Protein backbone atom coordinates (compact mmCIF):
# COMPACT_ATOMS: atom_id res chain seq x y z
CA UNK A 1 0.00 0.00 0.00
CA UNK A 2 1.47 3.34 -1.13
CA UNK A 3 0.40 6.83 -2.05
CA UNK A 4 2.66 8.36 -4.69
CA UNK A 5 2.45 11.91 -6.06
CA UNK A 6 4.64 12.87 -9.00
CA UNK A 7 5.04 16.50 -9.99
CA UNK A 8 1.51 17.51 -8.98
CA UNK A 9 0.60 21.08 -9.96
CA UNK A 10 -2.60 23.06 -9.61
CA UNK A 11 -3.62 26.28 -11.33
CA UNK A 12 -6.89 28.10 -10.77
CA UNK A 13 -7.73 30.93 -13.18
CA UNK A 14 -4.12 30.92 -14.43
CA UNK A 15 -2.85 31.41 -10.87
CA UNK A 16 -0.38 28.76 -9.72
CA UNK A 17 -1.55 27.37 -6.38
CA UNK A 18 1.38 24.95 -6.13
CA UNK A 19 3.61 23.14 -8.58
CA UNK A 20 5.80 20.07 -8.89
CA UNK A 21 4.75 18.49 -5.58
CA UNK A 22 6.18 14.99 -5.25
CA UNK A 23 6.15 12.51 -2.39
CA UNK A 24 5.75 8.81 -1.67
CA UNK A 25 4.39 7.35 1.55
CA UNK A 26 3.81 3.79 2.63
CA UNK A 27 2.08 3.65 6.04
CA UNK A 28 2.71 6.50 8.42
CA UNK A 29 1.91 10.18 8.68
CA UNK A 30 2.58 12.83 6.04
CA UNK A 31 2.30 16.30 7.55
CA UNK A 32 1.53 19.07 5.06
CA UNK A 33 2.35 22.51 6.42
CA UNK A 34 1.95 25.91 4.86
CA UNK A 35 0.58 29.39 5.30
CA UNK A 36 -3.07 30.20 4.69
CA UNK A 37 -3.68 30.11 0.94
CA UNK A 38 -0.65 27.90 0.19
CA UNK A 39 -2.82 25.12 -1.25
CA UNK A 40 -2.97 22.62 1.62
CA UNK A 41 -6.73 22.08 1.39
CA UNK A 42 -6.62 22.00 -2.41
CA UNK A 43 -3.91 19.33 -2.35
CA UNK A 44 -5.95 17.25 0.10
CA UNK A 45 -9.05 17.54 -2.12
CA UNK A 46 -6.96 16.39 -5.09
CA UNK A 47 -5.72 13.38 -3.11
CA UNK A 48 -9.33 12.64 -2.12
CA UNK A 49 -10.27 12.76 -5.82
CA UNK A 50 -12.72 15.64 -5.28
CA UNK A 51 -10.69 17.88 -7.61
CA UNK A 52 -8.29 17.27 -10.48
CA UNK A 53 -4.71 18.39 -10.55
CA UNK A 54 -3.64 20.57 -13.48
CA UNK A 55 -0.68 18.31 -14.16
CA UNK A 56 1.20 15.44 -12.60
CA UNK A 57 0.25 11.96 -11.54
CA UNK A 58 -1.14 10.35 -8.39
CA UNK A 59 -0.77 6.62 -7.88
CA UNK A 60 -2.95 4.83 -5.36
CA UNK A 61 -1.04 1.56 -5.01
CA UNK A 62 -3.42 -0.98 -3.45
CA UNK A 63 -5.82 1.79 -2.31
CA UNK A 64 -9.36 1.82 -3.72
CA UNK A 65 -11.49 4.99 -3.75
CA UNK A 66 -13.84 3.58 -1.09
CA UNK A 67 -10.81 3.06 1.19
CA UNK A 68 -10.17 6.81 1.37
CA UNK A 69 -11.60 8.80 4.30
CA UNK A 70 -11.68 12.59 4.17
CA UNK A 71 -12.21 15.14 6.93
CA UNK A 72 -12.54 18.66 5.59
CA UNK A 73 -13.55 22.04 6.96
CA UNK A 74 -17.22 21.23 6.42
CA UNK A 75 -17.79 18.51 8.97
CA UNK A 76 -20.70 16.74 7.23
CA UNK A 77 -22.69 16.35 10.43
CA UNK A 78 -26.46 16.77 10.66
CA UNK A 79 -26.99 19.50 13.24
CA UNK A 80 -30.72 18.86 13.73
CA UNK A 81 -30.15 15.24 14.75
CA UNK A 82 -29.06 14.03 18.16
CA UNK A 83 -25.42 12.98 18.46
CA UNK A 84 -26.51 9.35 18.78
CA UNK A 85 -28.58 9.62 15.57
CA UNK A 86 -25.59 11.09 13.70
CA UNK A 87 -23.42 8.21 14.87
CA UNK A 88 -25.92 5.62 13.64
CA UNK A 89 -25.61 6.96 10.09
CA UNK A 90 -21.99 5.82 9.84
CA UNK A 91 -20.07 2.84 11.22
CA UNK A 92 -18.36 4.13 14.35
CA UNK A 93 -15.56 2.64 16.42
CA UNK A 94 -16.96 2.57 19.96
CA UNK A 95 -13.43 2.92 21.38
CA UNK A 96 -13.11 6.31 19.70
CA UNK A 97 -16.25 7.53 21.51
CA UNK A 98 -14.58 6.69 24.81
CA UNK A 99 -11.22 8.18 23.81
CA UNK A 100 -12.84 11.51 22.94
CA UNK A 101 -15.41 11.30 25.79
CA UNK A 102 -18.40 11.77 23.50
CA UNK A 103 -20.68 9.18 25.21
CA UNK A 104 -21.99 11.81 27.66
CA UNK A 105 -23.33 13.86 24.74
CA UNK A 106 -25.23 11.08 22.92
CA UNK A 107 -28.68 12.49 23.75
CA UNK A 108 -27.74 16.10 22.95
CA UNK A 109 -28.93 17.81 19.80
CA UNK A 110 -25.81 18.05 17.68
CA UNK A 111 -26.35 21.78 17.10
CA UNK A 112 -25.93 22.31 20.87
CA UNK A 113 -22.40 20.86 20.97
CA UNK A 114 -19.39 23.11 21.35
CA UNK A 115 -17.20 23.61 18.26
CA UNK A 116 -14.58 21.33 19.84
CA UNK A 117 -17.06 18.52 20.40
CA UNK A 118 -18.36 18.89 16.84
CA UNK A 119 -14.77 18.49 15.65
CA UNK A 120 -14.34 15.38 17.82
CA UNK A 121 -17.53 13.91 16.34
CA UNK A 122 -16.22 14.54 12.81
CA UNK A 123 -12.84 13.00 13.70
CA UNK A 124 -14.53 9.92 15.15
CA UNK A 125 -16.58 9.50 12.00
CA UNK A 126 -13.60 9.97 9.66
CA UNK A 127 -11.26 7.64 11.55
CA UNK A 128 -13.93 4.98 12.04
CA UNK A 129 -14.30 4.43 8.30
CA UNK A 130 -12.53 1.20 7.40
CA UNK A 131 -9.88 2.28 4.97
CA UNK A 132 -6.24 2.63 4.12
CA UNK A 133 -5.87 6.36 3.46
CA UNK A 134 -7.05 9.08 5.85
CA UNK A 135 -6.95 12.69 4.65
CA UNK A 136 -7.43 15.12 7.54
CA UNK A 137 -7.64 18.86 6.90
CA UNK A 138 -6.71 20.85 10.03
CA UNK A 139 -8.18 18.17 12.33
CA UNK A 140 -7.06 19.78 15.59
CA UNK A 141 -8.83 23.08 14.99
CA UNK A 142 -11.04 23.87 18.01
CA UNK A 143 -9.66 21.00 20.11
CA UNK A 144 -8.42 21.65 23.63
CA UNK A 145 -4.95 20.43 24.63
CA UNK A 146 -6.32 17.25 26.26
CA UNK A 147 -8.26 16.31 23.12
CA UNK A 148 -5.26 17.10 20.91
CA UNK A 149 -3.15 14.69 22.94
CA UNK A 150 -5.83 12.00 22.54
CA UNK A 151 -5.99 12.67 18.79
CA UNK A 152 -2.21 12.56 18.34
CA UNK A 153 -1.95 9.33 20.32
CA UNK A 154 -4.72 7.74 18.24
CA UNK A 155 -3.29 8.69 14.84
CA UNK A 156 0.18 7.63 15.90
CA UNK A 157 -1.26 4.17 16.64
CA UNK A 158 -3.31 4.07 13.40
CA UNK A 159 -0.31 5.15 11.32
CA UNK A 160 1.35 1.78 11.90
CA UNK A 161 -1.26 0.23 9.58
CA UNK A 162 -2.61 3.18 7.55
CA UNK A 163 -1.51 6.20 5.56
CA UNK A 164 -2.53 9.43 7.25
CA UNK A 165 -2.12 12.79 5.51
CA UNK A 166 -2.70 15.80 7.73
CA UNK A 167 -2.70 19.51 6.97
CA UNK A 168 -1.91 21.58 10.03
CA UNK A 169 -0.46 24.82 11.27
CA UNK A 170 0.69 22.87 14.32
CA UNK A 171 3.81 20.79 14.51
CA UNK A 172 3.15 17.08 14.97
CA UNK A 173 6.29 15.65 16.55
CA UNK A 174 5.92 12.06 15.33
CA UNK A 175 5.14 12.60 11.64
CA UNK A 176 7.09 10.40 9.25
CA UNK A 177 7.34 12.90 6.40
CA UNK A 178 6.96 16.67 6.13
CA UNK A 179 5.80 18.50 3.03
CA UNK A 180 5.98 22.29 3.18
CA UNK A 181 3.93 24.30 0.69
CA UNK A 182 5.50 27.59 1.75
CA UNK A 183 7.51 29.08 -1.08
Ordered DSSP codes for 29-54: EEEEE--TTSSHHHHHHHHTTSS--S
pLDDT score recorded for residue 73: 87
Average pLDDT for 132-155: 95
CA–CA gap between residue 157 and residue 151 (Å, rounded): 10
At 88-134, the pLDDT tens digits run 998 899 999 999 999 999 999 999 999 999 999 999 999 999 999 99
Give CA 158 to chain center in angstroms.
13
The pTM assigned to this predicted structure is: 0.93
Number of structural domains in the chain: 1
Mean per-residue pLDDT over the chain, rounded: 93
pLDDT score recorded for residue 183: 62
CATH of the domain at 7: 3.40.50.300
CA–CA gap between residue 146 and residue 49 (Å, rounded): 33
Average pLDDT for 157-170: 92
pLDDT score recorded for residue 175: 75
pLDDT score recorded for residue 60: 97
Q: Domain limits at 29?
A: 2-180
Amino acid sequence: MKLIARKISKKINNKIIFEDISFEIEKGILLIKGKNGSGKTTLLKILAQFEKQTSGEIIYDDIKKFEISYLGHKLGIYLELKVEENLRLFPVNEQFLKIFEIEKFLNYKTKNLSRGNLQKLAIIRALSKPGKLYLLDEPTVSLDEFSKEKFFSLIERLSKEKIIVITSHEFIPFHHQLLSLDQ
